Amino acid sequence: MKFDLLETVEYGGCSAKLAPSELARALQGLAAVDDPRLLVDISTHDDAGVWKLSDDTALVQTTDFFPPVCSDPCEFGQIAAANALSDVYAMGGRPLTALNLVMFPQQRIPLAVLREILRGGMDKVTEAGAVVVGGHTVDDFPPKYGLAVTGVVHPDKLITNASAQPGQDLVLTKPLGTGVIAAGRRIGEVEPGAYRASLDTMKQLNAAAAAVMAESGVRCATDITGFGLLGHALKMADASGISIEIHAGSVPLLDDAYRLVDLGCIPGASFRNQSFAEERCSVASSVDYNRKMLLFDAQTSGGILCAVDHDRTPDAVAALHERGCPHAAVVGRVVPGKPKKLYID
């Protein structure tokens, strides 16, 4: 059945997240949990929570859902599922089970569309080696879909956003620009091939990236989603107590993303991310406006930014290329703490 989900939303995917500054205000004053079994909590704004069950097993728990980011229902389901599963991969974990989270207007959109969304989600969960064990539905418009995911990780192999060390290289596993491409699709400006490439990268699981991180001894990473590359890098810098240099010209971009920004196709989420992070950034005059705004672009099912020991970086990047991440690149490095948290050149 033909039904264009993009016609139901003004903005979708991870662009629909609350602004990071507003989220920080909402969380302010909430009591912290003091329990030695809680290995990762909300204090570092990491990708998932981690609870230690035993000396060799910890649970990784996360959830993510959003309005449509593309036109096709099945592809929307695949992207939303890949995005939710990514949080487990970013922590070094292995997904086990998933629960569907569904908000769907049963009187306004044919139920066959929902069936396709769920089919797409199940396809990705199955590809990840996990199983869908149930879910919850609410009648709501516009439609939204995602997963609550539980995974496992060995406590000694846990990856967090709080363990970057000066001298490490920063590797990004997917190109940026999914937010801009989706906005370009809505206004009919994006090149068809570029739109297809954006869908393909959003549907790609970060499983290969997780495997390479494990092989490379990575202990610090975060996946790049709604707060953009710079927003998530800032959270990594804060949690790790370091500063980060980003080489803007080395950051991979999706085809047509730069042209769209040059046309003025910049989603509102980019400006919200800019407001959150820019005061704590030092941006060199050589970085042009278009590229800077792409560094703030809200990504949906984006890649993983990981801190890799310098001597292991070449092998890690080569392994990523061999395993289906052709755009993986070194985009910066970790440096000792400075007055600003992020330095973009």
Domains of the chain by residue range: 5-157, 169-344
Around Cβ 37, how many Cβ atoms within 10 Å?
A: 12
d(CA 91, CA 47) in angstroms, rounded, equals: 7
Look up the CATH superfamily of 169-344: PurM-like C-terminal domain (3.90.650.10)
Spans of the chain below 50 pLDDT: none
Burial class (CB in 10 A: 0-12, 13-18, 19+), 211: middle
14 catalytic residue (yes or no)? yes
Catalytic residue among 14, 220, 281, 306: 14
Fold category of 5-157 in CATH: 60s Ribosomal Protein L30; Chain: A; (3.30.1330)
Identify whether the C-beta of residue 13 lies closer than 8 Å to the C-beta of residue 79: yes
Single-letter residue type at 231: G
pTM metric for this prediction: 0.95
Would you state the pLDDT for residue 1? Answer: 56
Q: Are 13 and 182 in contact (CB under 8 A)?
A: yes
